């Protein structure tokens, strides 16, 4: 091949790859398989290796990162990267809207009759919780990426932003401006953040507190190859400078038009951008995004609202370091500072002592919080948290509030380190903490009332025996009154035992007794899980049931035999073997069977057909003919693995109504998706 022929093919390959990058990262609409993209990419890389003189900085092969930088250079922003003022309520935004309209009326001398419509048009989008950056393009080529810094100067992170696939190295289109400055947010999607932390934890490495910190830390790696390994995405939200506009291209007259131009150039935009008029539209948009916040693929902390007209933006201008034409409508804070008033230790069903910080009440994440988890004693020592300390707590959605850092500079002089108890705070038994383990445990077993209560709560839970209506408070009353000590005692309860409980009438007692009786018919995986064997979760219980088929076979298996079960290692095998060697556990199981708790035996794994073996399936959205748990059980019966996240290795995604981010991820990755009707057909074909 001559150099001229290579140049022609290289340019064609680059054009194809830029197009497919935009389809994949900018539009979430890939139109070729990953394998075909990889073929094109490798062909280009091979040609550039053969003809190094043809390699250019905007080639798609240049994303992988170069050598580590000794330090970041300082960049002065031609146009400062300003902050936004905030509003926190509908009333505050109405004031923002009123001030904008009044100012426009005063400036133009037309009073309140400025507009043909009395409402201002607003462009709204989620306020992404990441790191703001500036990108500068000259003749369509990315020449600089910089952090916001203090708004006037930032850090040159060009080498790192070049590794982010959703940032174009060369803009799309044949006619491009001589200079373009685009600003946006680098975020780490929730799914990528979870995967990265899981991998770090498995290697014993430090994990990140939240996706924002992870994104910021990733962008500030001195070695771009490290940044390239992080799951980062870029969303453009504004054009700051444009010089040398192509001939024939009309100037945009609104912010929304600018965003569409950026999309045309190859930038990814939020799918949640909407245009509307007046405070009522903004409030509706805010409430909609707030309600869907947990299902979005990235973290957000509010919505950004901008006056859409560029003319009105110019007229409104700026005040101090913020524009008068834009504001951030913030969600209730997810982090807050409060004081640790006490640290107590709670005892779980396996005897694990969990430290809990009792806090001065503080409003965070939409609720008033007075308790936060500290996970284990190692976490207390790592953070050096003490009674009297000022701490930052974090709460998002239904996540249990947790202490994320200590403000040691505010520590009072009399704050003392926390000491691990040597005696159980509930039953006074010895507390044991084996060398090298983070978890300390009460040695009292079911003699300990706390372990009794937690074991019973687990036994009746929805994914275990599923005793509908038997809540935690009633469990606690039944134990405190001495009416139950083990799970078998539940099936001996009489109506007269229940009607004496607080807020328990005759009808409630009848309903509860009916639910207890109904729970007797269960499945072997559920029963094994309900027993509360240490280290045996749902997946392991299912694996045991599928491998052995009968409870007696599981109970009789020694540790060596147990380790032939998938996902059962030495620690889990020891926990299972120990559980079934203890006399009181065997007595409870015998009583449960005698009282009518039963399940159908399963065919042993070697005897059972596995038509979906080796396949990974994902369930998303609501199914009308069965619950997600029931669908999961059916897939597991057929040998499939059911995952909570979508990847390139996913065989199929079952999408019910209101499917969210998992469906979007499947479509982006080209994973096969079926609806509920097709899923029912699959089950029917295999006899379920």
Active site residues: 127
Which alpha helices (DSSP H) does 133-206 contain, by range?
Answer: 158-161, 190-202
Distances, alpha carbon 54 to alpha carbons 43, 49, 430, 655, in Å: 14, 9, 72, 46
Among 329, 254, 260, 430, CA closest to 96: 329
CA distance 249 to 550: 74
CA distance 465 to 520: 8
Distances, alpha carbon 94 to alpha carbons 98, 277, 370, in Å: 6, 12, 33
- Strand-pairing partners, residue 355, are 345
- The Cβ-side half-sphere exposure at 279, using a 13 Å CA radius, reads 14
CA distance 609 to 590: 31
Asked whether 158 and 144 are in contact (CB, 8 A), the reply is yes
Contacts of 191 (CB under 8 A, 6+ apart): 231, 297, 645, 646, 661, 665
Report the SS3 class of residue 589: helix
| Cβ neighbours of 73 (radius 10 Å) | 11
CA distance 493 to 497: 6
Angle of CA points 91, 96, 101, to nearest 5°: 125
Query: DSSP per residue over 212-231, as a string?
Result: HHHHHHHHT-SSHHHHHTS-
Among 231, 92, 115, 244, CA closest to 171: 244
- Burial, 330: exposed, middle or buried (Cβ in 10 Å; 0-12, 13-18, 19+)? middle
Asked whether 394 and 335 are in contact (CB, 8 A), the reply is yes
- Burial, 398: exposed, middle or buried (Cβ in 10 Å; 0-12, 13-18, 19+)? exposed
Angle of CA points 621, 623, 624, to nearest 5°: 140
């Amino acid at each position: 091949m001559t150099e001229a022929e290579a140049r022609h093919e290289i340019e064609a390959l680059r054009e194809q790859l830029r197009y497919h990058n935009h389809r994949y990262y900018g539009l979430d609409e890939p139109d070729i398989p990953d394998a075909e993209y990889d073929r094109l990419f490798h062909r280009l890389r091979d040609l550039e290796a053969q003809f190094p003189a043809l390699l250019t900085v905007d080639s798609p092969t240049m994303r992988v990162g170069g050598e580590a930088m000794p330090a970041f250079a300082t960049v002065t922003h031609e146009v400062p990267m300003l902050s936004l003022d905030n509003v926190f309520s509908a009333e505050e935004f109405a004031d923002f809207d009123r001030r904008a309209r009044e100012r426009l009326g005063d400036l133009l001398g037309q009073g309140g009759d400025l507009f043909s419509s009395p409402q201002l048009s607003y462009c709204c989008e989620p306020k992404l919780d990441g790191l703001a950056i500036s990108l500068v393009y000259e003749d369509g080529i990315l020449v600089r990426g910089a952090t916001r810094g203090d708004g006037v100067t930032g850090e040159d992170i060009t080498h790192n932003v070049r590794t982010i696939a959703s940032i174009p190295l060369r803009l799309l289109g044949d006619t491009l401006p001589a200079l373009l400055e685009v600003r946006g947010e680098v975020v780490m999607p929730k799914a990528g953040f979870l995967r990265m932390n899981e991998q770090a934890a498995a290697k014993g490495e430090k994990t990140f507190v939240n996706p924002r910190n992870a994104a910021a830390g990733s962008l500030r790696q001195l070695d771009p190859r490290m940044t390239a390994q992080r799951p980062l995405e870029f969303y453009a939200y504004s054009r700051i400078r444009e010089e040398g506009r192509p001939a024939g291209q009309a100037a945009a007259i609104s912010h929304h038009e600018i965003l569409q131009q950026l999309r045309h150039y190859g930038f990814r935009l939020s799918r949640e951008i909407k245009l509307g008029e007046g405070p009522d539209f903004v409030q509706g948009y805010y409430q909609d995004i707030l309600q869907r916040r947990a299902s979005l693929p990235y973290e957000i902390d509010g919505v950004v609202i901008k006056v859409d007209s560029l003319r009105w933006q110019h007229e409104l201008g700026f005040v101090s370091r913020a524009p008068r034409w834009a504001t951030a409508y913030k969600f209730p804070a997810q982090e807050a500072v409060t004081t640790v008033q006490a640290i107590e230790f709670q005892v779980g069903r396996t005897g694990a002592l969990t430290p809990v910080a009792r806090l001065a009440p503080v409003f965070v994440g939409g609720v008033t919080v007075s308790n936060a988890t500290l996970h284990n004693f190692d976490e207390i020592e790592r953070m050096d948290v003490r009674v009297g300390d000022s701490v930052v707590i974090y709460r998002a959605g239904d996540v249990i509030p947790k202490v994320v850092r200590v403000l040691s500079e505010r520590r009072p002089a009399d704050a003392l380190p926390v000491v691990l108890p040597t005696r159980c705070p509930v039953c006074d038994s010895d507390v044991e903490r084996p060398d090298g383990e983070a978890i300390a445990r009460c040695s009292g077993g079911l003699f300990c009332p706390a372990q009794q209560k937690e074991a019973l709560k687990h036994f009746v839970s929805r994914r275990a025996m599923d005793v509908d209506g038997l809540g935690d408070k009633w469990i606690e009353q039944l134990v405190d009154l001495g009416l139950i000590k083990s799970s078998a005692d539940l099936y001996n309860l009489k109506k007269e035992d229940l009607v004496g409980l607080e807020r328990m009438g005759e009808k409630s007692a009848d309903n509860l007794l009916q639910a207890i009786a109904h729970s007797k018919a269960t499945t072997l995986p559920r029963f094994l899980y309900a027993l509360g064997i240490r280290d045996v979760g749902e997946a392991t219980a299912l694996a045991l049931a599928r491998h052995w088929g009968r409870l007696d076979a599981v109970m009789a298996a020694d540790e060596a035999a147990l380790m032939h079960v998938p996902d059962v290692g030495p620690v889990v095998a020891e926990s299972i073997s120990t559980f079934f060697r203890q006399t009181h556990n065997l007595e409870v199981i015998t009583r449960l069977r005698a009282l009518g708790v039963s399940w159908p035996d399963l065919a042993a794994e070697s005897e059972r057909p596995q038509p979906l073996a080796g396949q990974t399936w994902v369930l998303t959205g609501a199914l009308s003919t069965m619950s997600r748990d029931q669908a999961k059980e059916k897939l597991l019966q057929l040998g499939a693995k059911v995952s909570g996240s979508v990847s390139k290795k996913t065989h199929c995604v079952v999408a019910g109504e209101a499917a969210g981010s998992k469906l979007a991820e499947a479509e982006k990755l080209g994973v096969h998706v079926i609806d509920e009707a097709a899923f029912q057909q699959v089950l029917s074909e295999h006899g379920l």
